[in-house]
Amino acid sequence: MTLSKFAPLLEGHPHINKVHAVDINAGYKKLRQIGFEMEMMGYDLAIDLHNTTRSQVIRKVLINTKNVHIKKPRWKRFKLFAFHKNDFQNFFSIRSWLHESIHDFLPENFSINDTHLFVSEAEKSGARESLHKYDLKGKYFVVTPGAAWSQKRWKADRYAKVIDDCVHQFQMYPVLIGGLGDDICDWIKNIADSPVVDFHGKTNLRESLAIVSQA
């Protein structure tokens, strides 16, 4: 289960049988209805990797379905964003943290595999054709500067400097991707000394994924 806007990222995944897409604007009644529908599916286990208010409403409806959830380090995260105080351990790993809620279900000495999203050859070919329209036929790197919260967003001039440094050091083309509202891409493109291919607002999630997969 994921928000409908992220559901396309999971298309073609060989280990996923069904994606339950939830509208971000779904109200309390709709969320409870989704929870009842999930309960009727007869799942053995529900793993909540968000533990947001939205997912908590859905989870509370689950009676016969065993469910577990992550514990978000909200206070540590707040101190990092608000005061730039990092109380996270040096070896903190997002992937390991996401597995904590299911630790008891995993075999001893379980090794966490790399995370993969799946892109078809047709999607990759389409991405290459789009890049070729900008005369981009060599190696490239992708920058995704947008963020929902301003505290998570780096400054445009710093992105521009990193882009210029990478171009000079590695001789690769810079490509920007993002949503329609990511105006920071325009700022970066105007500030950078190097020519930048700007795809922000021109690709959907699958197309962006195909571009990233070949960077």
**Over the stretch 175-194, which tens digit does the pLDDT of each residue have?**
999 999 999 999 999 999 99
What does the pLDDT look like over 31-62, one tens digit per residue?
999 999 999 999 999 999 999 999 999 999 99
DSSP-assigned letter for residue 137: -
Q: Where are the extended beta strands (E) located within 60-211?
A: 66-69, 140-143, 173-176, 197-198
Residue type at 109 in one-letter notation: N
What does the pLDDT look like over 127-170, one tens digit per residue?
999 999 998 889 999 999 998 777 778 999 999 999 999 999 99
Using left for φ > 0, alpha for ψ between -120 and 50, and beta otherwise, residue 71 falls in beta
Pairwise CA distance, residues 163 & 21, whole Å = 36
Residue type at 132 in one-letter notation: H
- Selected from 3.40.50.2000, 3.30.70.270, 3.60.20.10, 3.30.1600.10, the CATH number assigned to the domain covering 121-213 reads 3.40.50.2000
Q: Report the 10 Å Cβ neighbour count for 89.
A: 8
Domain borders along the chain are 2-105, 121-213
Given pLDDT bands bounded at 50, 70 and 90, which one contains residue 109?
confident
| The 3-state secondary structure of 145-156, one letter per residue | CCCCCHHHCCCH
Whole-structure pTM value: 0.81
Pairwise CA distance, residues 143 & 198, whole Å = 10
